[in-house]
Amino acid sequence: MGREKIHFGVGIVVGLVLAALFFYYFAPRYITVKSGGVLIKQDRWSGRSWRFLDNEWKEIVNIDQKWRRIDQSLREALHVPAGGIDTTSALNMLRQRYPVLKDVTDNELLERIKLVYSKEILCNLYLKNFLKLEQESKTAKPAEATAQK
């Protein structure tokens, strides 16, 4: 009976070591992906993800919302015109005119359009506001100098 317990104990230890080696080398828990200049770490076991920002891993939080109602409310509040554009045909025309876009999927292309357009609009608004403030400060300084004399 003593030999069987020893064999059982050795079998458990060897099994645990083999399982640990298998999971460490052949089935890694984490996978690291570089997507669009951002480093993302995904946990294969739990499905959680982290983004590498400011020299640390920050968890990516998934928000499960019904975004359709919220988006519609925002469109109404911002007075965004609801155009009846056929997105598929518009994207096809865009791809015909610019051949570099042929290999990009519809969703990726729409995301890039959104990113480029919003970046241009926001940068232009910021720079316009900055120039306006600079112009106002230049016109206010001569008025202050003449008031002090």
DSSP-derived secondary structure for 46-100: T--EEEEETTEEEEPPP----HHHHHHHHHHHHT-------HHHHHHHHHHH-GG
**Per-residue pLDDT band at 11 (split at 50, 70, 90):** very high
Residue 146 in any domain: the answer is no
What is the mean pLDDT of the segment spanning 26-48? Answer: 83
What's the mean pLDDT when you consider all of the chain? 83
Span 119-130, pLDDT tens digits: 888 888 888 888
Tell me: pLDDT of 82 over 60: yes
The verdict on pTM exceeding 0.85 is: no
Q: Same domain, yes or no, for 130 and 73?
A: yes
Q: Same domain, yes or no, for 73 and 50?
A: no
What is the mean pLDDT of the segment spanning 73-78? Answer: 82
Helix 87-97 crosses helix 106-148 at what angle (to 10 degrees)?
80
Separation CA 113–CA 2 (nearest Å):
73
Span 101-112, pLDDT tens digits: 888 888 888 888
What is the mean pLDDT of the segment spanning 60-81? Answer: 77
Strands 56-59 and 30-35: unpaired
Q: How many domains, the chain?
A: 2
Q: Same domain, yes or no, for 82 and 53?
A: no
| Domain, as residue range, for 96 | 67-141
Residue 89 in any domain: the answer is yes
Interior angle at CA 49, CA 43 and CA 52, nearest 5? 115
Strands 49-53 and 56-59: antiparallel
Tell me: pLDDT of 33 over 80: yes
CB of 82 within 8 A of CB of 64? no
Edge to edge, the sheet with strand 38-43 lists 30-35, 38-43, 49-53, 56-59
Q: Same domain, yes or no, for 53 and 73?
A: no
**Per-residue pLDDT band at 138 (split at 50, 70, 90):** confident
Residue 32 in any domain: the answer is yes
CB of 58 within 8 A of CB of 51? yes
Q: Which residues of 96-120 are buried (b: 16+ CB within 10 A; e: fewer)?
A: eeeeeeeeeeeeeeeeeeeeeeeee
| Residue 12 confidence (pLDDT) | 97
- Which of 29-33, 64-68, 120-124 is least confident? 64-68
